[in-house]
Structure formats: C-alpha cells, structure tokens
Amino acid sequence: MLKIKNLTKHYKGSNKGITDINLTIDAGDIYAFIGHNGAGKTTTLKCVVGIHDFEQGEIQINGISMKENPLLCKQQFAYIPDNPDLYEYLTGIQYLNFIADVFEVSESEREARIETYANAFGITEALGNLISSYSHGMKQKLAIISALVHQPKLLILDEPFVGLDPEAAVILKNIMRDICKAGGAIFFSTHVLDVAEKLCNKVAIIKDGVLIKTGKMEELVQQDTSLEDIFMEVLCNDKAD
C-alpha cells in the first residue's frame, strides 16, 4: 500500500531532517510510528503526503510514485496533521463539502458519510458554525471526518488522539480497525505508547532522523515487556553507544 524507500530530507541550512528511511505498510496494517520530540516523525509524514519535498528516495502508494504522479497518489490517501489548522473562515459543513468536491465525491455519498461520521463524533449541530468558533477537539473531529469523506484506502495521521475526548478516541480507534478490516491501512505517529501497543500490528521507532527499529508488534513486544520498555531500551542503548 505504502512503500518508503531510502527517504532522505534535510532542512536547508540545518542538520535536522531524516536519513535513509525505509518502511513498507501493507493492506490491513495499523502501523505506529514512534519517537521522541524532533525525531523526524512529522517530517517523514509530511514528505509522504506531499507537504515537504525531499532530496532522495522514493515514495510509492499502491505502486505509483509520489514524485512522478502526485495527484494520483494523493487521491488514494487522507492526511490529518498534528495541529488541525483548518480554514477558519468556512463553516464546518462548507469545509467538508470543499474536501468532498476536491475528491469528486458524489452528492449522495458525501451526504451519507458526513451524516454517519458527524453523528458518531457528535458535531452535527455545530457544522453550521464557523471553524474559528471550534475548540481544538472539535477541529480535530472535523479534520477526521474530512479525511474519511472520500473513503481513502490509506490514512496517514500525525498524533491523531491529541485533543480528542475519550469517547471520540474510542470511535476513531474503531474506525481505524474497520478501515484495516476492509483492506485499507493506517500509518500514524503517536506518543501514546499504550494505545500504539494495543491498536497496532506493526511499529517503527525513529531517533534523530534515523529508523532504529521496525517490525511486527508481537515480535518486538514479548511477554513481561511493553512497548514503553522497548522504546526506553532502544533510546538508552543508543545513548550509551
């Protein structure tokens, strides 16, 4: 579904960035991407979704190159950033309709999906208000609905649980599972290791722009250990080296 090969991106005039990232996310995967602040999680995700250009490497979505055919690639996924800066001058429903127009979703389909997800997240009655009046959590919910309105095969999420109330977090986890069951895939960054351990079948740990560990969750996390232990061990070992 998503193949990241030798991805390298460094910010101009700075040492920060990511180096030689290799990852493969298959259909049915819920893939957690973890690392400390500034490790390169957001940079990787932004390169994948086309917000950042990159110097080296290749990103393929369902075999299509992001560099060669970005429009076709972008039609297949949805992205939610860590800070949902949405168009504050639009109302919630105008924003959702805008996204549906961009993905050319039919009128009946967009109406049905918006109704389903807006009701699930409990923001239907606020959809007529300007986004500028929304709280952080409401913006996050709107961003999630907008990502689901065109039923993408691949969801790329940056810290999706930040700002969500517990009920919304459960709903999102269920949606993520449903997408995977239907043959889709999820690639998301998080600091909540507990959620990652319970929800994901695969995990990648990044440190200072370099992938330290990748693999299946069940292989990495053995009995009597947790993802938190693995994460701390990896970081400590790296520091000792």
Partner 1 sequence: MIKQISTLTKLQLKNLYGINVFRFSTDKSEKKKKLALAATYLFLILLFASYIGGMTYGYIFIGLEEMIPAYLIMLSSIIILFFSIFKAGAVIFQKNAYDILASLPVRQTAIVVSRFIRMYVENLLIALIAMLPSMVVYGIFMHPKASFYLIGILVTLFIPLIPITIATFAGALITAITSRMKHKSLVSVVLSMLLFLGIMLGISQMSAMEESFSIDMLQDLSKTALRIIQSIYPPAIWLGTAMLTGDFLLCIACISGSLLIFALVITVVSANFHWICRGLYRTGAKHNYKLKHLKKSSVLGTLYHRERKRYFSSSVYVINTMIGPIMAVLFSISVLTIGIQPIQTALGFPVDLTVVAPFLLAGIFCIMPTTCTSISMEGKEWWIVKSLPLRTKDVLDSKILLNLTIIAPFFIASELLFVCAIKPDFAELLWLIAIPVLLILFVCVFGITVNLKLPRFDWENEVTVVKQSASSFIGGFLGFVVALLCMVPCILVPAKYTTLTKLLLCFLIALITLYLYHRNNKTNLQEL
Of 201, 184, 194, the C-alpha closest to 231 is 194
Residue 219 Cβ, how far from partner 1 at the closest point, in Å? 32
Decide whether 28 or 50 has the Cβ nearer to partner 1: 50
Cα 86 to Cα 15: distance, rounded to the nearest angstrom: 30
Residue 86 Cβ, how far from partner 1 at the closest point, in Å? 7
Is residue 131 classed as helix, strand or coil in its secondary structure? helix
Residues making contact with partner 1 (CB under 8 A): 11-14, 46, 49-53, 70-75, 79, 81, 85-90, 92-94, 97-107, 110-111, 114-115, 118, 124-130, 132-133
Of 82, 104, 92, 225, the C-alpha closest to 146 is 92
Distance of CA 196 to CAs 53, 137, 160, 221, Å?
Answer: 28, 20, 12, 11
Decide whether 125 or 233 has the Cβ nearer to partner 1: 125
Decide whether 98 or 226 has the Cβ nearer to partner 1: 98
Residue 194 Cβ, how far from partner 1 at the closest point, in Å? 28
Residue 96 Cβ, how far from partner 1 at the closest point, in Å? 8
Decide whether 30 or 49 has the Cβ nearer to partner 1: 49
Decide whether 115 or 238 has the Cβ nearer to partner 1: 115
Decide whether 14 or 223 has the Cβ nearer to partner 1: 14
Secondary structure E strands in 26-171: 30-35, 56-61, 64-65, 77-80, 154-158
Residue 94 Cβ, how far from partner 1 at the closest point, in Å? 7
Q: Give strand pairing partners of 91.
A: 130
Cα 185 to Cα 38: distance, rounded to the nearest angstrom: 25
Residue 134 Cβ, how far from partner 1 at the closest point, in Å? 8
Torsion angle of C-alpha atoms 93, 48, 204, 8, degrees rounded to 10: -150
Of 14, 18, 73, 57, the C-alpha closest to 189 is 18
